[in-house]
Amino acid sequence: MFSLSTSRRSSGSTARSRREILRIGGLAGMVGGSPLTGLAHGQGAAQANSQGDISGIMLFLVGAPSHIDTLDPKPDAPLEVRGPYKPIATAVPGIRVTEILPQVARQADKFSIIRSVYFQGAAVHDTGHQFMQTGRAFTGGIEHPHVGSALNHLKPGTEEIPGHVLIPRPIGKTGGNQPHGQSGGYLGRKYDPFVLGTDPSDPKFKVPDLLPPDYLGDVRVDRRKRLRQVVEDHLKLAETSTAGKQTRESFDQAFRIMASPATREAFDLHKEPDSVRDRYGRTRFGQSCLLARRLVERGVRFVTVNMFETVFDEVTWDIHGSRPFTDINEMARLVAPSFDQGYSALLEDLAQRGMLSKTVVTALGEFGRTPKINPAGGRDHHPGCWSMLVSGGKIRPGMVVGASDELGYAPKSRPANPQMVAATLYKALGVNPHTELTGPQGRPMPLVDHSIEPLNELFGS
């Protein structure tokens, strides 16, 4: 993947292979998007949003939070199920979360909880990533588009602001080798999200390629020109091919976008007051949430925030207990506070700015965790039942939809599979969930099956 991080940029060379040039152009990149492809096509920009369209922010909690330890406490269950954390009251009478999410609890009048999410499939991260971001699994060689990519395709805007942005980085290794559901899928790479590729919590954070030419040193300007010339030289060999034309189009449009004052300004976190940045938390997740607010405020139609890039080499929601993973206690001490602060700040900020009614915010993981705590002090993968948060737009706040059984093992009422979740999200974004796209070999592909309906109780009359 071609990243905006300076450590990953290439200086260009006439000896560079054609494969490398095509990789730079986005035709042979990794799943998860490329700024040379997702940036320049079908943007849901400020012009479209000014007409009343709804934006979306998806907070993807890579690793999968334990529903019992966060949003679906089971105080009456046996100790090995209920865990160490007590339920607390929220801003909405009758709704409780656990004590590790005190700031989320105070924002409960702004969101609703779906407590009966499930899927039938392998209990592996990749499967859950695909299901929960596309509504479907990767089967038969068909990769379905991310919700944000489908929205970008259906409601294009101008070329000045990306339509779907993924921050800070795509999902990496999570133990499998399948796609993670964060691309344009069968719609093509031009609907991949624009990937930031750098940590917005870094004190030196900037998006170097978005700096105006006047501020670029001679060496960097020369480097960019040489890279462009290398691409031009190679594309002359494939001028009549579809791949060559797509690469040229992507490169030319992205080159213009990178110098866009509107795009540069949208990514400039340094324009935010310190008090606002502190409210979100100076963590990677907190600053990513703040950047997501800035982006939708300036016309980006959909933003995906990955809380983590992988479940390895850092403490995440993947609480198996044994190393290299973490346990329930470390999760509560190191992971939950970042989410608690970042998510609550995002909802509060959107509401105060009058943006929540036009921004659908979801917070979800790829599955739940086993109700029974394992001998290592953690919980393992469990796609049988878990919880997620939905808010904004026409979503009714202060509700609980569905319920899990007494142990949090399976849905007790209103089971919600990934297609139902996707249908609900599409409806909230103002899209008919049964809209048919053009799939492989020209086949019509509905966003979700025609037999699937959204969780309509989440919407007002």
Has residue 259 been placed in a domain?
no
Q: What is the mean pLDDT of residues 363-383?
A: 98
Eight-state DSSP code of residue 416: B
Eight-state DSSP code of residue 375: T
**CA–CA separation, 288 vs 373, rounded Å?**
31
Has residue 272 been placed in a domain?
no
Domain region containing 104: 53-157+164-185+285-458
**CA–CA separation, 243 vs 432, rounded Å?**
32
**CA–CA separation, 109 vs 92, rounded Å?**
6
Residue 52 binned pLDDT confidence (cut-offs 50, 70, 90): low
Residue 150 binned pLDDT confidence (cut-offs 50, 70, 90): very high
What pLDDT is stored for residue 357 in this prediction?
A: 97
pLDDT > 60? residue 23: no
Has residue 196 been placed in a domain?
no
Residue 213 binned pLDDT confidence (cut-offs 50, 70, 90): very low
Q: Tell me: the pLDDT tens digits for 273-306?
A: 999 999 999 999 999 999 999 999 999 999 999 9
How far from each other are the two terminal CA atoms of the chain, in whole angstroms?
45
What pLDDT is stored for residue 2 in this prediction?
A: 32
Higher-pLDDT residue of 357, 250: 357
Q: What is the CATH number of the domain that holds 332?
A: 3.40.720.10
Residue 234 binned pLDDT confidence (cut-offs 50, 70, 90): low
Mean pLDDT of all residues belonging to the chain: 84
Both structure tokens of 391: 């808010």
What pLDDT is stored for residue 211 in this prediction?
A: 40
CA dist list (Å): 291 to 239, 333, 343, 360? 38, 24, 12, 16
Residue type, 53: D
**CA–CA separation, 357 vs 343, rounded Å?**
16
Output the furthest CA–CA distance in the chain (Å, rounded). 70
Q: Tell me: the pLDDT tens digits for 102-139?
A: 999 999 999 999 999 999 999 999 999 999 999 999 98
- The reported pTM is 0.85
Has residue 205 been placed in a domain?
no
Q: Is 141 left (phi over 0), alpha (psi -120 to 50) or beta?
A: left
pLDDT > 90? residue 29: no
Both structure tokens of 71: 């949003």
Higher-pLDDT residue of 12, 428: 428
Q: What is the mean pLDDT of residues 301-314?
A: 95
**CA–CA separation, 456 vs 461, rounded Å?**
10
Name the H helices within 13-146. Answer: 18-25, 46-49, 79-82, 102-106, 125-134
**CA–CA separation, 300 vs 57, rounded Å?**
10
What pLDDT is stored for residue 358 in this prediction?
A: 97
| Total of domains in the chain | 1
Has residue 360 been placed in a domain?
yes
214: β partners? none
Q: Out of 34-43, 336-345, 381-390, which region has the weakest mean confidence (pLDDT)?
A: 34-43
What pLDDT is stored for residue 249 in this prediction?
A: 54
Residue 176 binned pLDDT confidence (cut-offs 50, 70, 90): confident
What pLDDT is stored for residue 225 in this prediction?
A: 60
Residue 99 binned pLDDT confidence (cut-offs 50, 70, 90): very high
Token pair 């919407």 in the structure block, residue: 459
Q: What is the mean pLDDT of residues 174-179?
A: 90
| 152 contacts 192 by C-beta, under 8 angstroms | no
Higher-pLDDT residue of 15, 201: 201
- Please give the distance of CA 175 from its chain centroid, rounded to a whole number: 19
388: β partners? 114
Has residue 221 been placed in a domain?
no
- Quick check: bond before 213 cis, omega within 30? no
Has residue 295 been placed in a domain?
yes
**CA–CA separation, 426 vs 434, rounded Å?**
9
Has residue 191 been placed in a domain?
no
C-alpha radius of gyration, the chain, whole number: 22
What DSSP string describes 182-241?
A: -S-GGG-GGGSPEE--S-TTSTT---GGGS-GGGS-HHHHHHHHHHHHHHHHHHGGGTTS
Q: For a pLDDT cut of 90, what percent of the chain falls above it?
A: 69
